[in-house]
């Protein structure tokens, strides 16, 4: 009994020593509590996001990295509801709040109150503009540029591009579009010969592309915003045109189609989007801040890219009707933080 206790104690010391050496200058966070404040859970991306949180943050609690990591979702997708929710979380004594915000600005008062109460606030995906909060933002412009850059490596001589845009009037659509424009300006061998709105939905994209195709010359590449690639492919196939290089957006149906095309005719392309697991990155970033790490206020989420080499494993890991996901680890967060520090 005493011996086994001694052994346990020794093991515990050894483990904590190992952890301590790994995070030499960081302090302990095992008694700290982190909350996720989420404004909406009504689509597959958000569901995957909450599941990712459960998985990663739940394990962190089990391993004693933090004391609690509870997820809260407002009953309605409204900024006033979420502001009240944040104020409740302050009262509940959480040390950090990880936030996917309903509005970039309307929560600033509540976020400020949290900062004033000494709570660390890390916003991601839906970020807030309040300067005291950390932001893990998505560089949507980069997402647009990278598509054109990838096409430039595949088609050095350039060619005609078809652009499928998202939902008109939404910030994300403008950003990705601006990135694509910048990419085309940098690579003048490409010309955008047509542009349609696919609303990030396969059926809408298919109808829109089918409608514009008869009026277009030969298309060499299709730049997209995610969720629209499969529909575009269907439209090209139905019209009996040559299949262009369609840049995809990590949806399961898109990747399935890609794998089939590859097996059939050696089709090659690239797929990129934001993984719902970004919530877990935000979790680890907040843990790092609590541990005393110096973290720049603005961080950028790396895209999840699926290439020819990783297609099979990603497709196998993605449930039907869902989107490719990645769960981030503590090391990933440390790397993102280090990269951001370098960029400063």
By the rule CB under 8 A, 88 interacts with another protein: yes
Size of the site for another protein (CB under 8 A): 34
As given in the structure block, the two tokens for residue 288 are: 């790092």
Instruction: Identify which range of 97-105, 179-187, 289-297, 300-308 contacts another protein by CB under 8 A.
Output: 97-105
CB of residue 170 to another protein, shortest distance in Å: 10
Residue 39 in 3-state DSSP?
coil
C-alpha–C-alpha distance, residues 34 and 126, integer Å: 18
Nearest of 51, 68, 133 to residue 99 by alpha carbon: 133
By the rule CB under 8 A, 113 interacts with another protein: yes
Binding mask 163-202 for another protein (x = CB under 8 A): --------x-------------------------------
Angle at 244 between CA 170 and CA 252, to 5 degrees: 60
By the rule CB under 8 A, 153 interacts with another protein: no
Of positions 44, 72, 149, 178, contacts another protein by CB under 8 A? 72
* Crossing angle for the helix pair 202-212 and 229-238, to the nearest 10 degrees: 40
By the rule CB under 8 A, 51 interacts with another protein: no
By the rule CB under 8 A, 105 interacts with another protein: yes
Of positions 60, 65, 83, 285, contacts another protein by CB under 8 A? 83
- What does the DSSP assignment read for 45-92? HHHHHHHHHHHHHHHHHHTTSSSEEEEEE-SSS-HHHHHHHHHHHHHT
Residue (132 or 327) nearer to another protein, CB: 132
Residue (103 or 160) nearer to another protein, CB: 103
Of positions 34, 36, 52, 74, contacts another protein by CB under 8 A? 74
Residue (79 or 272) nearer to another protein, CB: 79
As given in the structure block, the two tokens for residue 281 are: 């990155």
Three-state SS for 170-229 is: CHHHHHHHHHHHHHHHHCCCEEEEEEEECCCCHHHHHHHHHHHHHHCCCCCEEECCCCCH
CB of residue 118 to another protein, shortest distance in Å: 12
Residue (22 or 84) nearer to another protein, CB: 84
CB of residue 78 to another protein, shortest distance in Å: 5
CB of residue 68 to another protein, shortest distance in Å: 11
Residue with tokens 């949507």: 140
C-alpha–C-alpha distance, residues 23 and 115, integer Å: 25
User: How far is the CA of 96 from the CAs of 93, 291, 333, in angstroms?
Assistant: 9, 11, 16
CB of residue 79 to another protein, shortest distance in Å: 5
C-alpha–C-alpha distance, residues 87 and 83, integer Å: 6
Q: Is 19 exposed, middle or buried (0-12, 13-18, 19+ CB in 10 A)?
A: middle
By the rule CB under 8 A, 93 interacts with another protein: yes
By the rule CB under 8 A, 131 interacts with another protein: no
By the rule CB under 8 A, 81 interacts with another protein: yes
Residue (95 or 220) nearer to another protein, CB: 95
By the rule CB under 8 A, 110 interacts with another protein: yes
As given in the structure block, the two tokens for residue 324 are: 């490719």
Residues that bind another protein (CB under 8 A): 41, 70, 72-76, 78-81, 83-85, 87-88, 90-93, 103-110, 112-113, 117, 129-130, 171
């Amino acid at each position: 009994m005493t011996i086994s206790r001694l052994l346990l104690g020794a093991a515990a010391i050894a483990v904590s020593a190992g952890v301590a050496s790994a995070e030499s200058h960081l302090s302990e966070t095992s008694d700290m509590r982190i909350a996720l404040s989420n404004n909406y859970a009504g689509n597959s991306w958000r569901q995957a996001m909450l599941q990712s949180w459960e998985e990663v943050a739940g394990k962190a609690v089990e391993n004693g990295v933090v004391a609690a990591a509870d997820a809260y979702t407002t009953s309605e997708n409204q900024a006033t509801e979420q502001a009240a929710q944040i104020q409740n979380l302050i009262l509940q004594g959480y040390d950090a709040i990880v936030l996917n915000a309903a509005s970039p600005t309307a929560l600033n008062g509540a976020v400020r109150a949290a900062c004033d109460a000494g709570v660390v606030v890390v916003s991601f995906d839906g970020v807030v503009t309040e300067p005291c909060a950390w932001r893990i933002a998505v560089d949507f412009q980069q997402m647009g540029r990278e598509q054109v850059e990838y096409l430039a490596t595949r088609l050095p001589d350039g060619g005609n591009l078809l652009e499928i845009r998202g939902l008109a009037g939404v910030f994300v659509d403008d950003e990705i579009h601006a990135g694509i424009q910048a990419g085309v300006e940098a690579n003048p061998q490409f010309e955008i010969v047509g542009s349609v709105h696919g609303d990030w939905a396969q059926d809408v994209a298919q109808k829109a592309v089918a409608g514009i195709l008869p009026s277009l010359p030969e298309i060499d590449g299709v730049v997209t915003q995610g969720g629209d690639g499969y529909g575009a492919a269907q439209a090209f196939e139905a019209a009996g045109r040559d299949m262009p290089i369609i840049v995809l957006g990590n949806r399961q149906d898109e990747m399935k189609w890609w794998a089939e095309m590859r097996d059939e005719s050696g089709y090659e392309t690239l797929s990129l989007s934001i993984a719902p697991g970004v919530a877990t990155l935000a979790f680890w970033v907040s843990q790092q801040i609590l541990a005393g790490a110096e973290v720049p206020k603005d961080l950028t989420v790396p895209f999840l890219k699926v290439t020819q080499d990783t297609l099979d494993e990603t497709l196998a890991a993605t449930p039907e009707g869902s989107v490719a996901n990645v769960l981030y680890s503590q090391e990933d967060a440390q790397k993102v933080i280090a990269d951001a520090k370098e960029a400063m």
